[in-house]
Structures are given as structure tokens and as C-alpha cells.
Amino acid sequence: MTRKILVLPGDGIGPEITAQASRILAACQTQGLDVEIEEGLVGGAAYDEHGEPLPAVTLEKAKAADAILLGAVGGPKWDKLEDLTKRPEKGLLGLRKNLGLFANLRPAITYPQLASASSLKPELVAGLDIMIVRELTGGIYFGQPRGIEVRDGQRVGFNTYVYSESEIERIGRVAFELAQKRGKRLCSVDKANVLEVTILWREVMERLAPEYPDVELSHMYVDNAAMQLVRAPKQFDVMVTGNMFGDILSDAAAMLTGSIGMLPSASLNQSGQGMYEPCHGSAPDIAGRGIANPLATILSVAMMLRYSLSEFELAQRIEDAVGKVLDDGLRTADIASEGMRTVSTSEMGDAVLAAFEAA
């Protein structure tokens, strides 16, 4: 059956990096990947054309797609829009909400070739391969009631940290299943010594565990998890946590790898439909100069093949091709180091494509 992929380049460096990722997708098609690829507008580019960051036509295409590849959205051009609902970021949030993308997968992988770019000692991070599974549509970021109001003569701000058993269970299952396919170790991160909501979180994880007897489940308080991530990050395989803890821990883990230009991500819904994007933003400071690192976006294609299209072999070939170009000493400016060859966005795309085709 022909599956559908929607490519949404977005703003800033988005079009430059998705162009390189699209070349890899096209190469996969010639290797037998049966997909139909469409493009659409989102973010500031969509606002300029349609007056909306997520036009109805884009949302319809997104709903019909098996997977979406997104570049990045936003930039100074739209920062002054007074109507906040028209801001580029709303396009991204609208996609997440409308597609029910509740599971955010954030791998933190340090390629041995780039270990010296990390802020930690190379021996602590070389070969690091963690998958952080963050709940994306619930928790304190969305809980009601919320607001700022006057109480006893002063303003009080409040939010609600809430998770239902079913919300915890569905993210738990995603994490257990991922752990089964990787190192079979799952660390659930909570604050069960203080917060009732995470006492329930821990209970639900424990309840699921017997269904995944091959996975070793452990629990860690979030403060300790933050500490362990910078002390001995290689102890982790898969980590699962709620929205806010996941937001913070996944960014900390990203920095262990040295460059934000290398990190892909996936956001999945119940039916396996997913949106795939680099972890970084639209980098307006370097947009249009042909120097952006396209590897996070190319690696997002590999994640798409693995998690939405079950094309494991092609996914592995892309990841191996990226490893090969790094071995060959090619670097974009953000990961440049002495003795290595600094290349442009499209030269990096050329090299990955050649390595992919040669494999």
C-alpha cells in the first residue's frame, strides 16, 4: 500500500535542511520505498500566504498523511505579530493537538566522532545512546484550573499537575515497547516522594511491568535523574516521564551530545502516525547562508522510517551513512573541529546521499 508523507519545510533554515532530507527520501523511493510525498506550508511561511500558521489545507494534508517531516518554524519577521494565535509556533502546537501526538521521542546520541564537542568529558559521552520518552499532551502544561488571580490582596499564579491512569498507561506502553526493541531497560522518572500525581504515575508503571517481563523497570526521582544525566549518562537506555520533567531532561540530554544540529525527534499518536523534526529551531541567524547542519533532519527521516513506516533496514542505512560521513571527517560549521573538512548544507547532503547509495 502506498503511504503518504507530508513535508512541511517551515521557516528560516527549514527549507534548506528539509531539501537535503527530501533527497534522501527520494533515494529511498528508488530503493523500493512505496510512498507519495507532498509538500505544505506551516508557520510564518503559511501566515504570509494564507494569514494562518496552520491553514486548513495543511491540516487536511497532515491528517491524511502516515507521517510528517517538519523543518522548523518561527523567526523575527513574525515575532511582532500582536495576535498570538497567528504566531508561527501555533502552527506546530496546532499540529500536535489536532493529531493527538502524545508521545515525544527524543534520542540523545553522541557519535564517537563528535564526543569532544560535548560539554562533558569524551569518555562519559562517547557512544551515548539514550531515548527519552516525554508525555506531550498532558500534565502541568495543560492541566486545569490555571491562571493568575488576586487572592487576599495579592496576585497568585497557579497551575494544575494532573494525569489520568489512561494517559499514564498509554505513554508507559510506548516506553516499554521501545525498551523491548533496544537495551531492555526502562527508567521511569517521577517525584513520587512529594507529588501525588507521580505516585499514581509510579503505580501505573509498576502495574504495566509484568506485561513486559523482558524489560527491567526502575524508578528515579527527577532531581536525581538530572544529576545522573550529567554524572554518568551511559547508565540509561530508555527514560519515560511526564511533560514538564521530560521537557527539561530532554534538553539537558541534548546538550550532552554537543550539537543541537545532530538531534532528531518524533512525536507519535495512538495509531503510530507521527511527526518527525529536528530538535532545533529555525536558526534565523544563519538562514539562507547554506551552512546549516541538515543531519538532524536527515536522521528524522530515519526515525520516520523506523517508527511510522516500519522500514527498519532503510532507517539503519541512513544512520550508517551519517556515521560514514562523520568518519570521513566532513563537518558543517556547527560541529567543525580542527583537521576536519567544513562543508555546506548541500555538500553534507551530497555526502550522506553518496554513502547511502554506496551501502
Q: Which of 334, 348, 349, 351 binds ligand NAD (CB under 6 A)?
A: 334
Other CB atoms within 10 A of residue 98 CB:
13
Of the pair 265, 273, the CB lying nearest ligand NAD is at 265
Which range of residues in 142-150, 202-210, 220-228, 289-297 is near ligand NAD by CB under 6 A? 289-297
Q: Does 258 bind ligand NAD (CB under 6 A)?
A: no
Tell me if residue 247 is catalytic: yes
In b/e form, how buried is each residue of 300-320, taking b as 16+ CB within 10 angstroms? bbbbbbbbbbebeebbebbbe
Report the alpha-carbon distance of residue 79 to residue 298 in Å, rounded.
Answer: 28
Q: Does 293 bind ligand NAD (CB under 6 A)?
A: yes
Of the pair 81, 124, the CB lying nearest ligand NAD is at 81
Q: Does 197 bind ligand NAD (CB under 6 A)?
A: no
Q: Does 280 bind ligand NAD (CB under 6 A)?
A: yes
Tell me if residue 191 is catalytic: yes
Size of the site for ligand NAD (CB under 6 A): 22
Tell me if residue 141 is catalytic: yes
Q: Does 48 bind ligand NAD (CB under 6 A)?
A: no
Give the active site residue among 4, 86, 141, 184: 141
Which range of residues in 61-69, 168-176, 185-193, 291-299 is near ligand NAD by CB under 6 A? 291-299
Of the pair 118, 293, the CB lying nearest ligand NAD is at 293
Q: Does 251 bind ligand NAD (CB under 6 A)?
A: no
Least spacing, CB of residue 92 vs ligand NAD, in Å: 6
Q: Does 74 bind ligand NAD (CB under 6 A)?
A: yes
3-state secondary structure of 237: coil
Report the alpha-carbon distance of residue 320 to residue 144 in Å, rounded.
Answer: 45
Other CB atoms within 10 A of residue 325 CB:
24
Which range of residues in 33-41, 106-114, 280-288, 312-320 is near ligand NAD by CB under 6 A? 280-288
Can you say how many angstroms the Cα of residue 209 is from the centroid of all Cα atoms in its chain?
25
Q: What is the 3 state secondary structure string of 11-80?
A: CCCHHHHHHHHHHHHHHHHHCCCCEEEEECCCCHHHHHHHCCCCCHHHHHHHHHCCEEEEEECCCHHHHC
Of the pair 110, 188, the CB lying nearest ligand NAD is at 110
Report the alpha-carbon distance of residue 24 to residue 314 in Å, rounded.
Answer: 10
Tell me if residue 190 is catalytic: no
Report the alpha-carbon distance of residue 241 to residue 326 in Å, rounded.
Answer: 32
Report the alpha-carbon distance of residue 198 to residue 193 in Å, rounded.
Answer: 8
Least spacing, CB of residue 216 vs ligand NAD, in Å: 33
Of the pair 59, 215, the CB lying nearest ligand NAD is at 59
What are 52-58's contacts with CB under 8 Å, separation 24+?
52/86, 53/86, 53/87, 53/88, 53/89, 53/90, 53/91, 53/94, 54/90, 54/91, 54/94, 54/95, 58/8, 58/91
Least spacing, CB of residue 135 vs ligand NAD, in Å: 18
Report the alpha-carbon distance of residue 291 to residue 17 in Å, rounded.
Answer: 10
Report the alpha-carbon distance of residue 276 to residue 5 in Å, rounded.
Answer: 11
Q: Does 257 bind ligand NAD (CB under 6 A)?
A: no
**In what helix (H) or strand (E) does residue 97 lie, and over which residues does it extend?**
helix 88-99
Of the pair 46, 179, the CB lying nearest ligand NAD is at 46
Q: Which of 42, 73, 238, 352 binds ligand NAD (CB under 6 A)?
A: 73
Least spacing, CB of residue 164 vs ligand NAD, in Å: 27
Q: Which residues contact 354 (CB under 8 A, 6 or more apart)?
A: none
Q: Does 264 bind ligand NAD (CB under 6 A)?
A: no
Residues catalogued as catalytic: 141, 191, 223, 247, 251
Interface ranges with ligand NAD (CB under 6 A): 13, 17, 72-75, 89, 92, 260-261, 277, 280-286, 292-293, 296, 334
